[in-house]
Structure 1
Amino acid sequence: MARIVFTANLRRHVDCPESEAAGSTVREALETVFRNNERLRGYVLDDQSALRRHVAIVVDGRPLTDRAGLTDPISPGSAIYVLQALSGG
Protein backbone atom coordinates (compact mmCIF):
# COMPACT_ATOMS: atom_id res chain seq x y z
CA MET A 1 0.00 0.00 0.00
CA ALA A 2 1.07 3.57 -0.64
CA ARG A 3 2.12 5.66 2.35
CA ILE A 4 0.35 9.01 2.72
CA VAL A 5 2.04 11.61 4.88
CA PHE A 6 0.38 14.86 5.91
CA THR A 7 2.95 17.44 6.94
CA ALA A 8 2.97 19.09 10.35
CA ASN A 9 1.55 22.36 9.06
CA LEU A 10 -1.60 20.50 7.92
CA ARG A 11 -1.80 18.38 11.07
CA ARG A 12 -1.88 21.62 13.07
CA HIS A 13 -5.30 22.39 11.52
CA VAL A 14 -6.78 18.93 10.88
CA ASP A 15 -6.28 15.56 12.55
CA CYS A 16 -4.56 13.61 9.76
CA PRO A 17 -2.03 11.02 10.88
CA GLU A 18 0.18 9.19 8.42
CA SER A 19 -1.81 6.49 6.64
CA GLU A 20 -1.49 3.64 4.19
CA ALA A 21 -3.95 3.20 1.34
CA ALA A 22 -4.36 1.02 -1.71
CA GLY A 23 -5.04 2.43 -5.16
CA SER A 24 -3.53 3.01 -8.56
CA THR A 25 -3.90 6.81 -8.54
CA VAL A 26 -3.46 9.60 -6.03
CA ARG A 27 -7.24 10.15 -5.98
CA GLU A 28 -7.98 6.49 -5.16
CA ALA A 29 -5.54 6.53 -2.25
CA LEU A 30 -6.81 9.84 -0.90
CA GLU A 31 -10.44 8.75 -1.16
CA THR A 32 -9.62 5.85 1.15
CA VAL A 33 -8.31 8.30 3.75
CA PHE A 34 -11.19 10.76 3.23
CA ARG A 35 -13.83 8.08 3.92
CA ASN A 36 -12.84 8.29 7.57
CA ASN A 37 -12.06 11.99 7.65
CA GLU A 38 -14.50 14.28 5.79
CA ARG A 39 -13.02 17.38 7.41
CA LEU A 40 -9.68 16.56 5.81
CA ARG A 41 -11.35 16.20 2.39
CA GLY A 42 -12.70 19.75 2.69
CA TYR A 43 -9.29 21.09 3.59
CA VAL A 44 -7.42 19.31 0.76
CA LEU A 45 -10.01 19.42 -2.05
CA ASP A 46 -12.21 22.25 -3.30
CA ASP A 47 -15.92 22.04 -4.16
CA GLN A 48 -15.02 20.63 -7.60
CA SER A 49 -12.94 17.84 -5.98
CA ALA A 50 -9.74 19.37 -7.33
CA LEU A 51 -6.71 20.07 -5.19
CA ARG A 52 -7.04 23.39 -3.39
CA ARG A 53 -4.70 26.14 -4.50
CA HIS A 54 -2.97 26.29 -1.11
CA VAL A 55 -2.25 22.54 -1.03
CA ALA A 56 0.56 20.68 -2.80
CA ILE A 57 1.14 16.96 -3.28
CA VAL A 58 4.45 15.27 -3.99
CA VAL A 59 4.47 11.64 -5.19
CA ASP A 60 7.75 9.75 -4.98
CA GLY A 61 9.67 13.03 -4.97
CA ARG A 62 7.80 14.57 -7.94
CA PRO A 63 5.13 17.30 -7.80
CA LEU A 64 1.61 16.21 -8.70
CA THR A 65 0.85 16.99 -12.35
CA ASP A 66 -2.94 16.53 -12.42
CA ARG A 67 -4.29 18.92 -9.79
CA ALA A 68 -7.88 18.60 -11.08
CA GLY A 69 -8.31 14.86 -11.52
CA LEU A 70 -5.53 13.60 -9.21
CA THR A 71 -4.89 10.84 -11.75
CA ASP A 72 -1.12 10.65 -11.27
CA PRO A 73 -0.25 6.95 -10.96
CA ILE A 74 1.05 5.41 -7.76
CA SER A 75 2.43 2.01 -6.85
CA PRO A 76 2.14 -0.01 -3.63
CA GLY A 77 5.51 1.39 -2.52
CA SER A 78 4.74 5.03 -3.32
CA ALA A 79 5.16 7.83 -0.82
CA ILE A 80 2.56 10.60 -1.12
CA TYR A 81 3.24 13.83 0.76
CA VAL A 82 0.38 16.29 1.24
CA LEU A 83 1.44 19.74 2.37
CA GLN A 84 0.18 23.24 2.66
CA ALA A 85 1.78 25.33 -0.06
CA LEU A 86 3.61 28.40 1.23
CA SER A 87 3.94 31.68 -0.56
CA GLY A 88 4.97 35.19 0.23
CA GLY A 89 8.03 37.28 0.20
Structure 2
Amino acid sequence: MAHVEFTSQLHRFVDTPQLDCDAGTLGEALTRAFDCNPRLRGYILDEQGHLRTHVAVFIDGHRARDRQALSDPLTAQSKVYVLQALSGG
Protein backbone atom coordinates (compact mmCIF):
# COMPACT_ATOMS: atom_id res chain seq x y z
CA MET A 1 0.00 0.00 0.00
CA ALA A 2 1.20 3.50 -0.78
CA HIS A 3 2.29 5.52 2.26
CA VAL A 4 1.22 9.18 2.50
CA GLU A 5 2.72 11.71 4.94
CA PHE A 6 2.23 15.43 5.44
CA THR A 7 4.95 17.63 6.91
CA SER A 8 4.72 19.18 10.33
CA GLN A 9 4.27 22.66 8.77
CA LEU A 10 0.79 21.62 7.65
CA HIS A 11 0.05 19.91 10.95
CA ARG A 12 0.33 23.28 12.70
CA PHE A 13 -2.88 24.35 10.93
CA VAL A 14 -4.88 21.15 10.49
CA ASP A 15 -4.69 17.51 11.55
CA THR A 16 -2.70 15.60 8.97
CA PRO A 17 -3.06 11.85 8.84
CA GLN A 18 -0.24 9.46 8.01
CA LEU A 19 -1.85 6.68 6.10
CA ASP A 20 -1.24 3.60 4.07
CA CYS A 21 -3.77 3.26 1.30
CA ASP A 22 -4.55 1.26 -1.79
CA ALA A 23 -4.37 4.02 -4.41
CA GLY A 24 -3.26 3.94 -8.04
CA THR A 25 -2.78 7.70 -8.43
CA LEU A 26 -1.83 10.70 -6.36
CA GLY A 27 -5.40 11.98 -6.61
CA GLU A 28 -6.79 8.75 -5.15
CA ALA A 29 -4.29 8.86 -2.27
CA LEU A 30 -5.14 12.47 -1.47
CA THR A 31 -8.85 11.66 -1.55
CA ARG A 32 -8.25 8.97 1.10
CA ALA A 33 -6.43 11.54 3.25
CA PHE A 34 -9.27 14.04 2.78
CA ASP A 35 -11.72 11.33 3.85
CA CYS A 36 -9.81 11.20 7.17
CA ASN A 37 -9.91 14.99 7.56
CA PRO A 38 -12.04 16.98 5.08
CA ARG A 39 -10.56 20.32 6.27
CA LEU A 40 -7.19 19.24 4.87
CA ARG A 41 -8.50 19.55 1.27
CA GLY A 42 -8.55 23.36 1.42
CA TYR A 43 -4.90 23.49 2.47
CA ILE A 44 -3.77 21.21 -0.36
CA LEU A 45 -6.11 21.89 -3.29
CA ASP A 46 -7.48 25.10 -4.77
CA GLU A 47 -11.07 25.71 -5.87
CA GLN A 48 -10.51 23.82 -9.15
CA GLY A 49 -9.12 20.76 -7.38
CA HIS A 50 -5.51 21.49 -8.44
CA LEU A 51 -2.54 21.50 -6.10
CA ARG A 52 -2.15 24.91 -4.52
CA THR A 53 0.82 26.98 -5.74
CA HIS A 54 2.75 26.63 -2.49
CA VAL A 55 2.19 22.90 -2.04
CA ALA A 56 4.83 20.44 -3.23
CA VAL A 57 4.29 16.70 -3.49
CA PHE A 58 7.06 14.16 -3.84
CA ILE A 59 6.46 10.58 -4.91
CA ASP A 60 9.34 8.21 -4.33
CA GLY A 61 11.75 11.15 -4.20
CA HIS A 62 10.51 12.81 -7.41
CA ARG A 63 8.32 15.88 -7.61
CA ALA A 64 4.76 15.16 -8.77
CA ARG A 65 4.30 16.28 -12.38
CA ASP A 66 0.53 16.53 -12.81
CA ARG A 67 -0.54 19.37 -10.53
CA GLN A 68 -3.99 19.61 -12.13
CA ALA A 69 -5.44 16.13 -12.65
CA LEU A 70 -3.22 14.55 -9.95
CA SER A 71 -2.75 11.53 -12.20
CA ASP A 72 0.83 10.66 -11.19
CA PRO A 73 0.88 6.88 -10.75
CA LEU A 74 1.57 5.17 -7.44
CA THR A 75 2.71 1.65 -6.71
CA ALA A 76 2.03 -0.41 -3.61
CA GLN A 77 5.49 0.63 -2.36
CA SER A 78 5.21 4.35 -3.14
CA LYS A 79 6.10 6.94 -0.51
CA VAL A 80 4.21 10.21 -0.93
CA TYR A 81 5.27 13.36 0.95
CA VAL A 82 3.14 16.51 0.90
CA LEU A 83 4.65 19.79 2.07
CA GLN A 84 4.23 23.51 1.84
CA ALA A 85 6.86 24.97 -0.45
CA LEU A 86 8.75 27.93 0.97
CA SER A 87 8.84 31.19 -0.94
CA GLY A 88 10.01 34.69 -0.36
CA GLY A 89 13.30 36.45 -0.43
For the aligned pair, the TM-score class normalised by the smaller chain equals: over 0.9
In the TM superposition, what is the alpha-carbon distance from 1:36 to its structure 2 partner? 2.3
Letter of the 1:87 counterpart: S
Cross-structure match for 2:39: 39
Q: Is the 8 A contact 2:17 2:36 kept in 1?
A: no
> What does residue 62 of structure 2 align with?
62
Q: Is the 8 A contact 1:21 1:30 kept in 2?
A: no
Give the letter aligned to residue 24 of structure 1.
Answer: G
Q: Are residues 1:74 and 2:71 paired? A: no
> 5+ residue gaps in structure 1?
none
Q: Is the Cα contact below 8 Å between 2:57 and 2:63 reproduced in 1?
A: yes
Question: How far did 1:17 drift?
Answer: 2.7
Identical-pair percentage: 51
Could you list the runs of 5+ residues in structure 2 that have no partner in the other structure?
none
* Residue 30 of structure 1, CA deviation: 0.9
1:20 is matched with which residue? Answer: 20
Q: Give 3-state SS (helix, strand or coil) of 1:38's partner.
A: coil
AA aligned to 1:32 is: R
Structure 1 CA distance for aligned equivalents of residues 42 and 76 of structure 2: 26
Q: Name the counterpart of 1:85.
A: 85
What letter matches 2:60 in structure 1?
A: D
Give the structure-1-normalised TM-score.
0.95
**Deviation sequence 1:19-61 (CA, Å, 0-9, x none):** 1111110001111111121100111001100000111100000
CA shift, 1:16, in A, is 0.5
Letter in 2 for 1:25: T
